[in-house]
Structure 1
Amino acid sequence: MSVQEKIRDLPHKPGVYLFKDRLNRVIYVGKAVDLHKRVSQYFHPSRKRRADRKLIALVEAIADLEFYSVHSEAEALLLEGRLIKEFRPRYNVSFRDDKRFLLVKVDLTEPFPRFQVTRLKKQDNARYFGPFASSGALRTTLNIMKKKFGLRSCNALIPTEKDYKHCLDHIIKNCSAPCIGKISQAEYLERVKMACAFLEGKSKEMIEEIRAKMEQAAQAFDFEKAAELRDLLEALEETTRPARRFVKQLPQISSPHEDLEALKSALSLSKPPLLIECFDISNISSTHKVASMVSFREGKAERSAYRRYRIKTVEGQDDFACMEEVIRRRYKRVLDEAGNLPDLIVVDGGKGQLSSALKALQSLGLNNICVIGLAKENEEIYRKGFSEPLILDKSDKALRLLQRIRDEAHRVANAYHQLLLKKRMRESILDDCPGVSENRKKLLIRAFGSVEKIKKSSVEEIAAVKGIGKKLAEKIVSFLSSRN
């Protein structure tokens, strides 16, 4: 079913939607009061004309969508936050700081338990209520609840007569004053338990009482008071409405064990590949050709075993030769040091990269290690002895694991390439040129690509670079000429 067909089937209900790219990765999570209307807006021609580049890029990357219906906007907000924390989508900004929703904490083992607002649930003896999406509604509810049940608002663990002297709650009859013995410790604990039942939504008396007062105020034409009670009623109902936990219906990330079993089955291996090593080449230009090797043990990244390589023997841009060099260097060293050989080697690329890897392994006498190539274009898996690539379903656990490993290798290789480019920039002979600051040096390298190309450029061409005037351009040309 296409994305447009799925949009037509979306319900007019609150919920959360997930946009996915062609690799079945979640790239954006959003919430909606009306799923059908909200998601349709992304693909409306008039919205696209007004959209910024980020939104256009998001829409163009959408290959699939998924949605979850909920009962209210508050539930949608809670679910949205949980899914963003789970999938870490690239186009989401909200919730990326791992901020948690509000909870209410009460420790019934304290002599006079207090209700406290917190964002972190600890493994202690306390009871926790929530999470609550609306902080305003929650705080309003807690204030009303404390007045109704006569609960203390002071922070002392055991309130005393000293705390009573500085407290106004007893004077305005909002507190039962256990600090001076107005009620016993047992009586106060009963009030706390009643308040807990109210937060769980088990006690409806307070809500019914406020609703009756609201109707009385409206009948007496005291609309200002009726509106105030209406807002209070909405806050209480929003806070005490039980939120669904979304346990069964959420998409779950499979376990490493399940991923490895799926990979074993897909590649027809005799056992799950507990140690996987993956290689990627970063060969953006003929300068600073680099490679990365990432290691995954039992389905999890083993960062201490990662390696980075600078290609030494290859001239020009030749990914196949680069792959052959780095594979040979890696496993020659493993053999020399009597290290552990992997159960599976993954190379980023198709038939050419796979052939290069096999050639390097053969030169070392390593013919029994399973090696595959994962091509980016259509996520095709190339294997030794098979003329046609293996194509797995996008949702297959084996493919998802291979993609995670390949993407990590790609990230490490690109990061190393960028590091070397920055180092090259710092080591440039332009550092010694009078008038060329660090920022101007970056502008020049970015504009021309290398010092050699700057040397071949005219004064006018150099002066055209932002931040470089004609006088400085003449100095640069003179300085570089003297360094030939």
Structure 2
Amino acid sequence: MANPKDYRPAPGTIPTEPGVYKFRDANGRVVYVGKAKNLRARLNNYFQPPKTLHPRTRQMVFTAASVEWTVVSSEVEALQLEYTWIKRFDPWFNVMYRDDKTYPMLAVSVKERYPRAFFYRGPKRKGVRYFGPFSHAWAVRETLDLLTRVFPIRTCSNGVFNRHEALGRPCLLGYIDKCSAPCVGRVTEAEYDEIVTGFMGFMSGRSEPLVRGITQQMQEAAENLEFEKAARLRDDLGAVNKVMERQTVVLSTDTDADVIAFATDELEAAVQIFTVRDGRIRSQRGWVVEKTGDEPGSMERLDEGVEDPALPVLMQNFLVQYYSDAVERVRQEEEEDAKLRAQKVRRRGVDQESRAQVKPPMPVPREILVETLPEELEEVTELLQQMRGAQVDIRVPQRGDKRALMETVHKNAAEALHQHKLKRVGDLTARSQALQDIQDALYMDEAPLRIECTDISHIQGTDVVASLVVFEDGLPKKNDYRRYRIKEAAGNGRSDDVGSIAEVTRRRFKRYNEDKLANPDEAAEEQTFADEREEDGVETTGGASSKRFAYPPQLFIVDGGKPQVNAAQAVFDELGIVDVQLIGLAKRLEEIWVPDDDEPVILPRNSEGMYLLQQIRDEAHRFAITYHRQQRSKRMRASALDAVPGLGPARRTDLVKHFGSVKKIKEASLEEIQEVKGVGPKLAQTIFDHLHAEDS
């Protein structure tokens, strides 16, 4: 029995969006499926002290060995996906939501001579097709009652069927035309099979042909003045529409598509595929695979918002492999079904061709929505059209509901890749191995228990900032993160990445030298250092602005190659730092550069040490980008009125409302500024002088 503490997700790693989650046991079997408006808030409830949990919930969390989730864009999608997974996995602990039984289903006994439709709860059996699950038992019975108006399939038990077959007269449902009465030979076996096929086709989602057919028959009956028949068909159409209203859709009902998205980094790629049939999400699958390294640009740095150059090749390989495997599985299923039908023919002596069949669904849809087109679009399209035997459209959605769904799929791919990384780094054995790999590769005397990494972020020399992230024992220590505004090496559209690295390194280790000399017991001096840190353009996180770097890292990483490393080493020499190992992590081939060494150190691509270094570098990159965006947004919101002494927010608002813009305020005369409510002669003179001081 697993301990929930062993597989509890790390704090802050669970998203706050709506979604569906699965608990799995040690064998990978799904034991519980649930949905939530806020995944983080919901899942945290399962990891409370065991004594506070409901007994059945406590049993479930100790039975499970892992938890995973899928993010969706709305609660409707979460509900649909939850039902889909409950239907697919039949989790044992979901009985808490279904009256100690499985969800109510609508079943059809396809192996019987005259298949019957019936309400069912319980484990699935061979020879029975299931539709659902439904939220309530009454929903199954009402659906069945409505559809027997259009498809008069038998619903009686075998005992009732045999009794009326012996009596030679149908039951009440046969007399009121809600059963085709095969028990008395009112329809032939072939005719009854067509009724069953239509019923199962409608329940599988193929509703449009039925609606069109009934509508056309109703119009023809009305034109021929057969008003009773038209009224009956009208009621049949109403029954069909009432059933269709209960089916949750996320796209238009004529949409058959697969939605595919990738999330990648330098070493791995995660792919997610959502299968949409008749506008409903039928299934979701995902994989995380290691890149081969042969893709074009596969080792280049993937900045946020920049598309991976390897995506077209990855997409092409996935499309060919996934659909080829799917078509092969369908072919094998059809062969097995053909053998079963042949056995029926030999047993019953019925012409095989006369019996209607429900073929397995075609795995290649009409439409394949992708984030990036495959490298060889025409060839891939032609191959898929051969598999499908019809037109296939591969395209990138640009707007609307399909684009929104694509964003949801991409979000799930990114989440899957993130969780995959966390599993490797979060495992104690993997972290220990990673630190050992780094120690061996760099010939360090001891494992680097504290690692710091810095990265620079800017856009064409504007808002140049740097980040400093800290990892201890292979895990992020966010309270020690630092953010720097670059002053000396950048500004006025000028940016020097090498100089910025040197500046950050100098400021970080100059502070370390000062902290070594400080008396940590003097609170006043502690506050002095905190004030200086703010004045020096350094920001801390997690409310730890007064916490000092009282000890150095064993390993300091700069994002870059040999020039960046040499610049940082020059700062080390200047400050007398000798007890810190310095390296640079290059962007292209994940090369590790050591000072005064002409050749880089290369770690194996799949080593734990490489994964840890990559995660540290990516965290520094993420943290730097976040801070850069904050500074850029703050600058874009700044106004020339912000620096006017004595002018508060309310007066600034009044001025802009009165004149319409800062430009018109600048063009206004001193008397016109005084006309604004609350602006006296002295304040008006201050505003006028400040706005025109820039021109002088």
Shorter-chain TM-score: what band?
0.3 to 0.5
TM-score (norm 1): 0.45
Q: Which has the larger radius of gyration?
A: 2
* TM-score, normalised via structure 2 length: 0.33
